[in-house]
Structure 1
Amino acid sequence: MVWFKAGPLFEGSEKLTAVYTEKLVSAAEAVRVISSGDNIVVPPGAAEPEVLMEALFERRAELKDVRVHQMLPLREATYLKAGMERHFRHVSWLTSSIVKRGVKEGRAGVMPGYLYEYPQFIRDLDVDVFMGTVSPMDEHGYFSFGVSVDYTIAAAGCAKKVILVVNPNMPRTMGYSVIHISQADMIVEDYTPLLELPKPTIGSIDQSIGDYVCQLIDDGSTIQLGLGSTANAAAQCLKEKKGLGIHTHFVTDTLVDLVECGAVTNRRKNVHPGKIICSSAVGTRRLYQFMNNNPMFEMHAVSYTNDPLIIARNDNMVAINSVDEIDLLGQCASEPIGPKLYSGTGEQVDFARGAMRATGGKSIVVLHSTHKGRSKIVPMLESGSVVSLSKNDVDYVVTEFGIAKLKGKTFRQRAEALIGIAHPDHRDGLSEAAKKSGLTR
């Protein structure tokens, strides 16, 4: 099945055709270059080379201690299953729900760090093999990494062996997203549809939060949106805005809605006007088709998109990110709650700091007030919790009960503002806890 109208998986001069054919091998042949103890890097999300990962699994009896480095896997590959840890070990650079169980059980590890640092981490790693999915080759011999640039350019540039899976379902994206056939050691062809992540279901609480977020965003702002239902609800509420721009890490199907309704034009951006600046796409076929050969999109590595100094160059930059829990000082936990390490920080610190340094910038943290009856605004974070956003990195906090402005406020004022947007059933308990700790009187 092929999503895009396409000719052959390569087109160009007779010389390029010959080079392509010479490097073309089966998936089983390609993974023969992998040895025990190797470091393998694969792209995140929909760019994961499924056909190679399954071929690698078939060699499990011959291999041990192979480390697979990846961010945000969208499927539970066979090598991730329990019992495979002697052969393969997953190193998560940003953990998805699929890998959390493996991390908790000690079968996978987590690489901490700010996302904009990841390409340099990759360069410092002794990468034996890079394996990634690309679009068909153009007449100049270039493939596009499509929906995932992130750290892929860095990995392909420093790996001892580069294996490319050419898939006509991978969109050709613009920007710094290409690799030349001369950089590939082997080529494998595959026609499997890309993995898809449907739009999250938006509930009434998400909708209320989105309505409040919309109040904080002016026409002409440049937006970053994190993943998840709450951030997507905020985006849905932006359809009435005008002249918005996008500078973000992830793009999702929601962005297509904002472009098609005219809310996102990118024309008022003072940095990269007219362009959506992003690094990765996580969504459905609709998004992937929208990005294909679309000059509105300009893909960059996370070392650019997520660099706080680059983000800060965008006037009226607004970062919108979900957190799991916040205490009365404004410290946010988005990784484990308590001593259960299973995830990395993600992009929220990069964008919070960048947005708050921008002229007219705002950083917005969103969360439901409760989860299963438990308040997500707490007197203090549970012992062992990792602070993802420090109290100094938090500007606005939004729940379904309103907006709390924390930047420029004292500890007492912060506590009072956060109690004011907590669920009414928990406000008295939070107020009492604040008094006992000396935050309020």
Structure 2
Amino acid sequence: MNTQIKFTTPEEAVKVIKSGDHVHLSSVASAPQCLINAMCKRGEAGELKDVHVHHLHTEGPAPYADPKFEGVFQLDSFFVGSNVRKVTQSGYADYIPIFLSETQRLYRCGAVPCNVAMIQVCPPDKHGYVSLGTSVDATLAAVECADYVIAVVNKHVPRSFGQAMIPMSKIDLFVEDDTPLMEAHFSEPNEVETAIGKHCAALIEDGATLQMGIGAIPNAVLAQLGGHKNLGIHTEMFADGVLPLVEKGVINGEAKKTDPGKMVSTFLMGSQKVYDFIDDNPGVLMMDVGYTNDPYIISQNDRMTAINSALQVDLTGQVCADSLGTKFWSGVGGQIDFVYGASLSKGGKAIIAMPSITNKGVSKIAPVLTAGAGVVTTRNHIHWFVTENGAVDLYGKTLQERARLIISVAHPSAQEELDRAAFERFGEHHHYVKKYMSEN
């Protein structure tokens, strides 16, 4: 098949964007910066107004969110990353609260229009297929629904498999740019994170399928799994921490019920090593987020173990992972998709893990959540809760029992105050209070 491409310039390609359009950007490392810059130049020239921009977390600059583009570009993101958090807090951008699993459905059901999808792909193969590389998530749905698809063909985009592979016929305009993908590097776990990692690792059984995202705590957990056997990966994202376990044969997917022997993800963020790892690797399936984050599909894997972080937890088990205070938003992400899916799995474990205090010494376990805090995992969904001080199972426990268990893994400096708060909250006739009074 002839796969010769007729390229155009970024400036020419973005001329298909009209005032009032909705534009989707591919996520994380695959944000198409050359198209973003060309679109913003049109905005600066006064050629556009009221253009809505949508994306999940993106790495790199986000110039369309600059306050100077008020009335020109309106960012309505599905997840608020660090590069657009300040402008979102200040009101120059907004976000659409949505479970990660449903971001693709926003386009497919028409709740959010998609006029133009701007993506990055690898060079075409001999059959005329390109790959979405590190960003399938809601991008595949955007490609399916958009009036125009503009693709940056980039030799640095890995040729990943699964639902990442799309025919060139789905693309209307091609631009060439070989800028390397954005990389993300994570620091080594500190003492607290290592302790959390050990407590989480103790809950993971051989043959488990894992979801644990990216960051210090996931890396700390992965670092403790060298002695495990036959682990699998079904997650919304992964990073460098999985690579040593794949090399050792610890992660092999042999016990998985869905996609046995395969690692499944919907987007990636990490170093070049991760991008090289998925390139031409049939052992990794990059899938639509409607598949990776479907609780039913997640639950089909026995011993599904989901490890997610939190910003704050209250004495009843309400989990805030979205906001603290009235002017902070990030987004729900995939936490509840996997908490629910793991809870339904045979032998599954849903784990919320966090340090017990902030870097400033403030307890992250609170009598009640901070005003304005967004509840992501409700007290009805939480099972295992882990801090550096231990792991407690809250499933099936009363509010009073939960309070005692949660306080038991709080930072020692906060336990007395939390005890008093529980005493005041539950009232003098509650069993917790009677036990508290007898002990004090």
> Please, what TM-score do these two structures have when normalized by structure 2?
0.94
The alpha-carbon deviation at position 98 of structure 1 amounts to 1.3
The alpha-carbon deviation at position 237 of structure 1 amounts to 1.2
Query: CA RMSD of the aligned region, Å?
Result: 1.1
Aligned equivalent of 1:232: 219
User: What amino acid maps onto 2:82 in structure 1?
Assistant: S
Aligned equivalent of 1:58: 41
Structure 2 Cα separation of the partners of residues 398 and 80 of structure 1: 37
User: What amino acid maps onto 1:189 in structure 2?
Assistant: E
SS in 2 for 1:388: strand
Aligned equivalent of 1:409: 397
What do residues 312-366 of structure 1 show as CA deviations (whole Å, max 9, x unaligned)? 1010000000000000000000111122242210111000000000000000100
Structure 1 Cα separation of the partners of residues 253 and 39 of structure 2: 43
Deviates more, 1:352-361 or 1:232-241: 232-241
List aligned pairs for 1:250-269, cutoff 5 A: 250-269=237-256
SS in 1 for 2:29: helix
User: What amino acid maps onto 1:288 in structure 2?
Assistant: Y
Q: Confirm or deny: 8 A CA contact 2:258 2:297 kept in the other structure.
A: no
User: What amino acid maps onto 2:51 in structure 1?
Assistant: V
Aligned equivalent of 2:25: 42
Aligned equivalent of 1:132: 119
SS in 2 for 1:133: strand
Residue number among 274, 281, 289 corresponding to 2:261 in the alignment: 274
Aligned equivalent of 2:179: 192
Is residue 223 of structure 1 aligned with residue 210 of structure 2? yes
Aligned equivalent of 2:424: 436
Is residue 380 of structure 1 aligned with residue 404 of structure 2? no
Structure 1 Cα separation of the partners of residues 326 and 334 of structure 2: 22
The alpha-carbon deviation at position 80 of structure 1 amounts to 2.4
Q: Confirm or deny: 8 A CA contact 1:199 1:254 kept in the other structure.
A: no
Structure 2 Cα separation of the partners of residues 189 and 407 of structure 1: 53
Aligned equivalent of 2:86: 101
Deviates more, 1:178-187 or 1:129-138: 178-187
Structure 2 Cα separation of the partners of residues 370 and 341 of structure 1: 19
Is residue 143 of structure 1 aligned with residue 130 of structure 2? yes
Instruction: Give the unaligned 5+ runs of structure 1.
Output: 1-12
Structure 2 Cα separation of the partners of residues 101 and 26 of structure 1: 32
List aligned pairs for 1:243-322, cutoff 5 A: 243-322=230-309
Structure 1 Cα separation of the partners of residues 320 and 162 of structure 2: 34
Number of corresponding residues:
424
Structure 2 Cα separation of the partners of residues 392 and 83 of structure 1: 43
The alpha-carbon deviation at position 152 of structure 1 amounts to 1.1
Aligned equivalent of 1:9: none
User: What amino acid maps onto 1:262 in structure 2?
Assistant: G
Is residue 89 of structure 1 aligned with residue 77 of structure 2? no
Q: Confirm or deny: 8 A CA contact 1:226 1:322 kept in the other structure.
A: no
Q: Confirm or deny: 8 A CA contact 1:91 1:109 kept in the other structure.
A: yes
The alpha-carbon deviation at position 142 of structure 1 amounts to 0.7
The alpha-carbon deviation at position 94 of structure 1 amounts to 1.1
Residue number among 53, 59, 71 corresponding to 1:68 in the alignment: 53
Aligned equivalent of 1:355: 342
Quick one: structure 1 residues 399 and 283, their matched pair in 2 at CA, closer, same or farther if it must change by over 3 Å? same
Structure 2 Cα separation of the partners of residues 332 and 109 of structure 1: 23
User: What amino acid maps onto 1:109 in structure 2?
Assistant: D
Structure 2 Cα separation of the partners of residues 236 and 85 of structure 1: 45
What do residues 191-214 of structure 1 show as CA deviations (whole Å, max 9, x unaligned)? 100011112441111001001111
Structure 2 Cα separation of the partners of residues 25 and 344 of structure 1: 36
List aligned pairs for 1:110-121, cutoff 5 A: 110-121=95-106
User: What amino acid maps onto 1:30 in structure 2?
Assistant: A
Structure 1 Cα separation of the partners of residues 63 and 83 of structure 2: 12
Structure 2 Cα separation of the partners of residues 383 and 186 of structure 1: 47
The alpha-carbon deviation at position 78 of structure 1 amounts to 2.2
Is residue 77 of structure 1 aligned with residue 25 of structure 2? no
What do residues 377-418 of structure 1 show as CA deviations (whole Å, max 9, x unaligned)? 111112221111000111111101111110011111110001
Structure 1 Cα separation of the partners of residues 70 and 183 of structure 2: 27
> Please, what TM-score do these two structures have when normalized by structure 1?
0.94
Aligned-pair identity in percent equals: 39
Q: Confirm or deny: 8 A CA contact 1:54 1:77 kept in the other structure.
A: no
What do residues 43-99 of structure 1 show as CA deviations (whole Å, max 9, x unaligned)? 110111111001111111221111110100112222222322222121211111111
Structure 2 Cα separation of the partners of residues 79 and 133 of structure 1: 18
What do residues 201-236 of structure 1 show as CA deviations (whole Å, max 9, x unaligned)? 411110010011111011111100122211221121
Structure 1 Cα separation of the partners of residues 208 and 18 of structure 2: 50
SS in 2 for 1:387: strand
Residue number among 343, 346, 365 corresponding to 2:330 in the alignment: 343
SS in 2 for 1:97: coil
What do residues 10-32 of structure 1 show as CA deviations (whole Å, max 9, x unaligned)? xxx34x32xx22xx211111011
Structure 2 Cα separation of the partners of residues 93 and 122 of structure 1: 12
What do residues 133-182 of structure 1 show as CA deviations (whole Å, max 9, x unaligned)? 00110111111001111011110011001111100000001111122111
Is residue 204 of structure 1 aligned with residue 199 of structure 2? no
What do residues 223-276 of structure 1 show as CA deviations (whole Å, max 9, x unaligned)? 001222112211211122111001100011111122112210111212211000
SS in 1 for 2:218: helix
Instruction: Give the unaligned 5+ runs of structure 2.
Output: 434-440
SS in 2 for 1:374: coil
Q: Confirm or deny: 8 A CA contact 2:237 2:265 kept in the other structure.
A: yes
